[in-house]
Amino acid sequence: MKDLSAKSSFTFKGLCLTSGDHIAFTTPRIPLSGDKMVEGCFTHIDDEGNFHAFSELLESFKDDGPFTEKDIIDIRVIHPGSVAVKMHAGNNALYHGQQVEFMKGGKKNQGELIGAFNSVICVWSDGKLINAGSGFFNPIQ
């Protein structure tokens, strides 16, 4: 996967998306009733053109993607990443694009905060996306 940042922009189904955007989409892979949509945090489009997002709803259906263009029926941006992180991080000290530190494997690591949804934070660190609860991440001053 190429390097990501909080400013990484992608086009998917004609919609401009930025890493960290709070999005909503429909897919037949997640059968919701009525007009309900899957809400979550958009992370990126991979090298094959597949859509990646995280959401506890996707986890509960044991389907966290990736999703192809054929898999997504409708998609929209609810809030840009800068607003979404403030709303969903669960920690007012964190912001979109911020450098944070966290413990992994007994070592202190650093990364860039890409997005947040329902108190789960997504960080780009050492070529990987790391998702964890907001309490695991501390802002670097």
Q: Grade residue 2 by pLDDT with cuts at 50, 70 and 90.
A: low
Pick the closest to residue 128 from 107, 114, 108 (CA basis). 114
Domains 9-80 and 82-139 share a fold: yes
Mean of pLDDT values over 15-23: 94
Cα gap 139→37, rounded to integer Å: 32
Structure tokens at 128: 């990987």
Mean of pLDDT values over 65-90: 91
Question: Does the structure show a pLDDT above 90 at 111?
Answer: yes
Taking the model in full, what pTM does it have? Answer: 0.87
Q: 39-72: per-residue pLDDT in tens?
A: 999 999 888 899 999 887 777 677 777 899 999 9
Q: Where are the domains of the chain?
A: 9-80, 82-139
Spatial contact of 85 and 113, defined as CB atoms under 8 Å apart: yes
| Domain 9-80 fold | SH3 type barrels. (2.30.30)
Pick the closest to residue 38 from 6, 4, 78, 7 (CA basis). 78
| Domain 82-139 fold | SH3 type barrels. (2.30.30)
Q: How many CB atoms sit inside 10 A of residue 3's CB?
A: 8
Residues 6 or more apart whose Cβ sits within 8 Å of residue 34: none
Cα gap 4→93, rounded to integer Å: 22
Cα gap 93→112, rounded to integer Å: 14
